[in-house]
Structure 1
């Protein structure tokens, strides 16, 4: 019978604080990366959907580059490569936020592009006939429909990307995974530590899922679900 000692974690205030703070850091960077990444993704998807000269090709190369390289490679490049190339230095959490934003944006952009492609051209033609500017047609007609149609996919991708954010601990960001590794190095209770991390990640994922479902109900009241 295994000798499990969860109390060595739960009775240690330092460990509990590290886990709590790590969960907050993970959540904050995920939300920040998701928000900024989504805004950037809208721009990328619009450029590719409307086939803007030159920019559409640049956006395609960017999306394929991000989607075909590991997040941890992108993280190291942003944290250590860009400062050498551009001569700046940010806190590691800022590097992590930038890397997550770039990563999220590529995946979100591809999902949104698929959603925009599913919208019939008749609506755009009708907007042109009414004299609506192209940018207004995009914001008021095509984009809301595409976002509503692809919201489940965006939701799932957000949760999946959240679960990959543990790699930011590799650049010394004190996220939830970093907290678990630190506690494990002190307590030598690997099973208890990583079981606890698993439970926390599951609870955080379910919390995000619930919050995103509530956001869907508020944003897309106009959409009739069939």
Structure 2
């Protein structure tokens, strides 16, 4: 496959005909939602799950980013124990499908955690906990957090290692301690490398948040599944579900590409 280039040598950008087709399909479906009673009912039902999907995505991504940063720092640590512990976590979690991790956290890890807490609380005379005291929503958030923290850790690690070592050595020569070097020199530069793949992980998390429906969490997918099962309107229902997800993911993808192009222009 050959890629044409501009006179400046940079790759030539094709006109986004695919986007015109996608917009045309979206406009058609939005027209159906506005004029067709069945589509309108589906949209009214499914749209109730949008905010829960956004909530799950934002909370899981924020927590996964924090854990991922700590894992990246641990994997670059001078301590052999920290490095190997971080690699163990990252490789094991990355090698497990998200849906398997979701089911494991919900139905294996959570009961074990409750049993462990009860073993500590009972000798103190404190009331015992029950597994159902932990909502399925938060079990799903925990599973997505754990799953994506391993991927985000690799993004942070690669970004940190991409920083020129000469600048780190210069900062060390100026008497900066490790925390100051990281906060003022390493992280601001690594962030430029990190943001695009981090944005891709956020978009992927929006899509994977639909997996929480296997636990009965009332997100977009679950509400669509329940409506379709009750009305047998699978075609209309999943058209609307797909439209909602695509509008979120494609909009974010286009915004991310625009940001990357603006960043490239700013660095020239």
Shorter-chain TM-score bucket reads 0.7 to 0.9
For residues 43 and 146 of structure 2, the distance between their equivalents in structure 1, rounded to whole angstroms, comes to 32
Q: Is 1:8–1:187's contact at 8 Å kept on the other side of the alignment? A: no
Q: Is 2:39–2:237's contact at 8 Å kept on the other side of the alignment? A: no
The counterpart of 1:143, out of the listed 166, 187, 203, is: 187
Which ranges of structure 1 fall in alignment gaps of 5 or more residues? none
Q: Deviations over 1:38-81 (max 9, x none)?
A: 11111111111234331111111111111110111111111111
* 1:76-95 equivalent positions in 2, closer than 5 A: 76-87=103-114, 88=131, 89-95=133-139
Pair 97,212 (structure 1): closer, same or farther in 2 beyond 3 Å: farther
Aligned-pair CA distance for 1:93: 0.8
For residues 49 and 56 of structure 1, the distance between their equivalents in structure 2, rounded to whole angstroms, comes to 6
The counterpart of 2:250, out of the listed 196, 206, 209, is: 206
- 1:9 aligned to 2:38? yes
For residues 95 and 127 of structure 1, the distance between their equivalents in structure 2, rounded to whole angstroms, comes to 43
Match of 2:97 in 1: 70
Match of 2:23 in 1: none
Pair 121,84 (structure 1): closer, same or farther in 2 beyond 3 Å: same
For residues 116 and 132 of structure 1, the distance between their equivalents in structure 2, rounded to whole angstroms, comes to 17
For residues 171 and 77 of structure 2, the distance between their equivalents in structure 1, rounded to whole angstroms, comes to 15
Aligned-pair CA distance for 1:29: 0.5
- 1:132 aligned to 2:176? yes
Q: Is 1:49–1:116's contact at 8 Å kept on the other side of the alignment? A: no
For residues 170 and 133 of structure 1, the distance between their equivalents in structure 2, rounded to whole angstroms, comes to 48
- 1:225 aligned to 2:253? no
Aligned-pair CA distance for 1:91: 0.7
Aligned-pair CA distance for 1:10: 3.2
Q: Is 2:43–2:240's contact at 8 Å kept on the other side of the alignment? A: no
The counterpart of 2:213, out of the listed 157, 169, 194, is: 169
Q: Deviations over 1:18-38 (max 9, x none)?
A: 312211111110111111111
- 1:181 aligned to 2:208? no
TM-score by length of 2: 0.73
Name the count of aligned residue pairs: 217
For residues 95 and 208 of structure 1, the distance between their equivalents in structure 2, rounded to whole angstroms, comes to 26
Match of 2:65 in 1: 38
TM-score by length of 1: 0.86
- 1:123 aligned to 2:152? no
Q: Deviations over 1:129-175 (max 9, x none)?
A: 11111022112211121121121111112212221221110011111
Aligned-pair CA distance for 1:17: 4.0
